[in-house]
Structure 1
Amino acid sequence: MTGIDEAGIQAVLAEVEAFVRGPGEEYAAEIEQSGMVADKLWADLRDRGFLRLAAPVEYGGRGIPFSRYLEVLELISMSHASVRMIVHVCNGVWRSMDQFATDAQRERFVLPQVAGDLRVAFTLTEPTAGTGADLRSSVEREGETYYLSGEKHLITFGVSCDYWLLFARLAGTSGKDGTLALLVDRDAPGVIVESMSGTMGVRGTDHARLVFNRTPVPVANRLGDEGSGLDVALGGFLTPSRIAVAMSCVGLARRAQELAVEHARARTTFGKPLAARQAISFALAENAADIEAARQLTLYAARQWEDGDVRAGSLSSMAKLTAVDMLTRVTDKALQVHGGIGFWESSTIERVYRDARAQRFEEGTNEIQKTVIAREVLGSVQ
């Protein structure tokens, strides 16, 4: 089946922008006040079709190509960070599952997740290991059941999900070849779920610490073969997700810039609007150039990934590294333009400034991105 046409994409962009500047602002206020994302927001995003924008039409999605979906994500990222997180995760996690899913698994997990009827939490990070081939969570197989033991933390939607898309290893193995991917039922026995609330920013998005003690998982819930766990985790998810996070930085920076421009035009000191002062206008000019440069690198990385470029992995890291550093500079200048009033919670820039810090950790720190890029640059020398 064919995907969405240009007119359809433009209609989606208009619909998303109207949501962000209308109901999205109301949801943002509710989230900041309550510290929670209400079920009605999940339902609203699902009913508007925002959770299935990037999935294929034959899966019930809108079929928006990835590089064009990023234009939508840029707008969504101007809203509250928890709204962006829901849209980002739901439009990406299906891809990680689908690449290795059997037909039965696609019917049971992928299609309901695309429809917004099933919440799946990407469950990789551990408190006692790095994110990758040194996973310590392990399973022992007995017949047609795996018994899972270990710990995970910082798991987005790990409290409220229906399944954890979890990565572990066969007991007694080391390295990539021992890893496997499992869909673990949220209500399975032998699991302790602890909410990790109280974050600096991205308030409302639940995060979880998980402890598994011989939790039974059917072998039928394994995606791919034993030994292909990191291929599931990284191959279809991490590269596009890093690019998507880079565009999230662009959207949030754009929001910070809008707020700064609005304040600079409205605020008068010593008989002049702030916008008339060269120091302020130059800071805003630098922001504009910074945002556009990050946007174009991110879109380039997206197009190269769509085309199957072997450099897509390193380009995704370049885009995220560049966009994260850009976001830091832009939000800092935007807050400075506001002066002291920007330090108060009554100013939207205060929330934007806090939320911006989270992007430095999502899908790998700057140091991880530099490692990926250096590997590409230096090749066999490394």
Structure 2
Amino acid sequence: MSAVVEKPAALDEAAFADLKAELTAWVTGPGEEWAERIEATGDVPPELFAELRERGYLSLAAPPALGGRGIPFPRYLELMEIVSRSHASVRMLVHVINGTWRAMAPYATPQQLDEIVKPSVAGDALVAFTLTEPTAGTGADLRTTVRREGDTYYLNGEKHLITFGVKCDYWLLAARLEGTRGHEGTVALLVPNDGLPGVEVVDDSETMGVRGTDHAILRFRDVPVPVSTRLGDEGQGLEVALGGFLLPSRVSVAMSCVGLAERAQELAIEYANRRETFGKKLRDRQAVQFYLAENYADIAAARALVLQAARAYEDGAPDAGALSSASKMVAVDMLARVTDKALQIHGGQGYWHRNAIERVYRDARAQRFEEGTNEIQKLVVARAVLDGTAGF
């Protein structure tokens, strides 16, 4: 196992404040222009990816040893909060690329670090997290299998809902050795998306929201994959996927809910301040005031829990897993309430595509299943509560 993931250095607060100001200016300026272009075309253009890379927004969280800025996780989430006020596909790129290294780096060989992990952090290679299956959940019931013959695995199975699965350079894929059950025998592989025989990639990108981000259905039939592509040892596949990526990623998604809710609230306030009915501004109507007050409290409460979960993860606290799931569980429910009230404040105008709240409302629905549904999060939290590891 690699020792490249070091503790972050002390943060230069003045430089960090400048970075937050720069990012805010980009989100409210060029970011909005990109959002309009993405919605019009249904595609994230290569120029946008290049701009995010050149600005360093894809390498915020990784340690300097990997080419990143080494921003501590709770402080990185302050940046994710800002990014999430932008288009959902922008948020998705920043979120995924700033997160997949966490799963790869602790288990990568020196060669994998140089050829895949560091280029991923730099934004020169795109890695798609490849866990979810159409006939199983996202854990120990994996059905995608590998059969080992010498130095080669033969991969069989199907994955779906794989974000960036069409355009990525590598699939960070979880499978299991044929004949094994549970966590035993699971493996994590860095499978190159370069035309391997037996791979079928189906573009499944037509979604309700998060327009522009590609999604794939992947089918594997006796695909030869070198054993050297494996991350860690046999039996560590779910350790890589769940602890390395999903635990912090759930906290990041929770903060993305906070950022998007803040954008919805901002749009609602703007509309309430300008819209007049029966000679009276919406802002002066008690029902609207109550909506905005409830949204404010909802957002503040969720944000506090997300930051608590982030600190627990960074400190390696025993309740980090429970807090990760709890933060996402609370944040996605909060986002649903806030966006619904924000849309209601807009009245019928909010239903039309020309108004930003319509996109925000559609995009908000995706977080309810991203990195596991709330039903899954509740099971994780309940297990921790019952076995005494949840803490208070």
Q: Which TM-score band (shorter chain)?
A: over 0.9
One of 49, 73, 92 as aligned partner of 2:99: 92
Q: 1:2 to 1:377 in 2, by over 3 A?
A: closer
Q: Secondary structure at the match of 2:372?
A: coil
Contact 1:27 1:41 (8 Å CA) reproduced = yes
Q: Which amino acid aligns with 2:145?
A: S
For residue 378 of structure 1, report the CA deviation from its aligned partner. 1.3
List aligned pairs for 1:269-308, cutoff 5 A: 269-308=277-316
Q: Which amino acid aligns with 2:327?
A: A
Q: Which runs of 5+ in 1 are unaligned?
A: none
Q: Which amino acid aligns with 2:231?
A: L
For residue 197 of structure 1, report the CA deviation from its aligned partner. 2.1
One of 351, 367, 370 as aligned partner of 1:343: 351
Fraction of identical pairs, as percent: 67
Query: 1:121 aligned to 2:128?
Result: yes
More divergent stretch after superposition (85-94 vs 142-151): 142-151
Distance 1:34 1:150 in 2: 33
Please tell me the root mean square deviation across aligned C-alpha atoms, in Å. Answer: 1.2
For residue 2 of structure 1, report the CA deviation from its aligned partner. 4.2
Q: Which runs of 5+ in 2 are unaligned?
A: 1-7
Contact 1:247 1:295 (8 Å CA) reproduced = yes
Distance 2:12 2:224 in 1: 45
Q: Which amino acid aligns with 1:365?
A: T
Distance 1:119 1:217 in 2: 19
One of 236, 239, 247 as aligned partner of 1:228: 236
**What is aligned with 1:15?**
22
Query: 1:183 aligned to 2:196?
Result: no
Q: Secondary structure at the match of 1:177?
A: coil
Query: 1:259 aligned to 2:267?
Result: yes
Query: 1:25 aligned to 2:16?
Result: no
**What is aligned with 1:369?**
377
**What is aligned with 1:44?**
51
Contact 1:3 1:56 (8 Å CA) reproduced = no
One of 342, 357, 375 as aligned partner of 1:334: 342
Distance 1:233 1:63 in 2: 22
For residue 96 of structure 1, report the CA deviation from its aligned partner. 0.3
Q: Which amino acid aligns with 1:198?
A: E
Contact 1:160 1:206 (8 Å CA) reproduced = yes
Q: Secondary structure at the match of 1:248?
A: helix
**What is aligned with 1:193?**
201
Q: Deviations over 1:144-170 (max 9, x none)?
A: 111111100000000000000001011
Q: Which amino acid aligns with 2:179?
A: G
Query: 1:65 aligned to 2:72?
Result: yes
Distance 2:385 2:236 in 1: 27
Q: Secondary structure at the match of 2:44?
A: coil
Query: 1:104 aligned to 2:111?
Result: yes
**What is aligned with 1:174?**
181
Distance 1:146 1:14 in 2: 48
Q: 1:64 to 1:355 in 2, by over 3 A?
A: same
Q: Deviations over 1:313-362 (max 9, x none)?
A: 00011100100000000000000000000000011000000000000000
Distance 1:10 1:60 in 2: 21
For residue 174 of structure 1, report the CA deviation from its aligned partner. 1.2
Distance 2:111 2:10 in 1: 24
**What is aligned with 1:162?**
169
Q: Which amino acid aligns with 1:272?
A: K
Q: Secondary structure at the match of 2:368?
A: coil
TM-score under structure 1 normalisation?
0.98
Distance 1:308 1:186 in 2: 34
**What is aligned with 2:3?**
none
Q: Which amino acid aligns with 2:172?
A: L
Distance 1:143 1:52 in 2: 37
Distance 2:201 2:118 in 1: 26
**What is aligned with 1:149?**
156
